[in-house]
Structure 1
Amino acid sequence: MGPDTPAPQGGTAGASARTDPNRQVRGDERRELTEYVATAYDQGRSIRDIASTIGRSYGFVHRLLTEADVKFRTRGGARKATRP
């Protein structure tokens, strides 16, 4: 799933979350959105990428992943070499 992969179309989770980022997401819609976010993260997408796709904040996506008991990846990036 690449960065241009759209949010889920089957339910209302992706579309409604995209239109109003301040609206609370509850019940079945939240479960659908949590499932979508967890699947996307497990497939290797970043939290920031998922957040921009669904039109929500990094913190909101992180909270959904925490609720889904997803094991978070370590932070990426190059590590500094040790000095000889």
Structure 2
Amino acid sequence: MVKPRQRLTGDLATAFSAYVVALYTGPDGMSISAICEKTARSYGNIHRILTAAKITMRNRGGDQRPSRAAEPRKEHHEDDVVVRGASADTRLPVDDSAEVGGAAGRST
């Protein structure tokens, strides 16, 4: 349809824009990257065409992190100490053998 690096003006630009919009919004809904490969146009060029046509962009590929539901839950001891941090709570196991506030380490 359009040669790579061919300047798009007038009716040719309008036709190419309609073609790109159809590829993006069609039943298969090609990605911008796939349209780039198919048309030999840059990502920015395809993105500008879709933006100019006032097409609502789809979200990117989604959350790439594993879901929290998939992670096994850790068992916590009821005496664990909870340390509140900026990102999350951290549980530290309590060592019952250590003396707290005792005479350990003091010389008499």
Higher relative contact order, structure no. (Cα contacts within 8 Å, ≥ 6 residues apart): 1
- Using the size of structure 1 for normalisation, the TM-score is 0.68
Aligned residues: 67
- What are the Cα deviations for residues 18-68 of structure 1, in whole angstroms up to 9, with x where unaligned? x3x333211110000000000110021001111111111111000100111
- Using the size of structure 2 for normalisation, the TM-score is 0.54
* 1:40 and 2:23 correspond: yes
Q: Which structure has greater strand proportion?
A: 2
Q: Which runs of 5+ in 2 are unaligned?
A: 69-87, 89-108
Q: CA deviation at 1:76?
A: 1.1
Q: Which runs of 5+ in 1 are unaligned?
A: 1-13
Q: Which runs of 4+ in 1 moved over 4 A?
A: none
Which residue in the other structure is 1:24 paired with? 7
Task: Tell me how large the CA RMSD over aligned residues is.
Answer: 2.0
Q: Using the aligned pairs only, state the percent identity.
A: 35
- Mark the structure with the bigger radius of gyration: 2
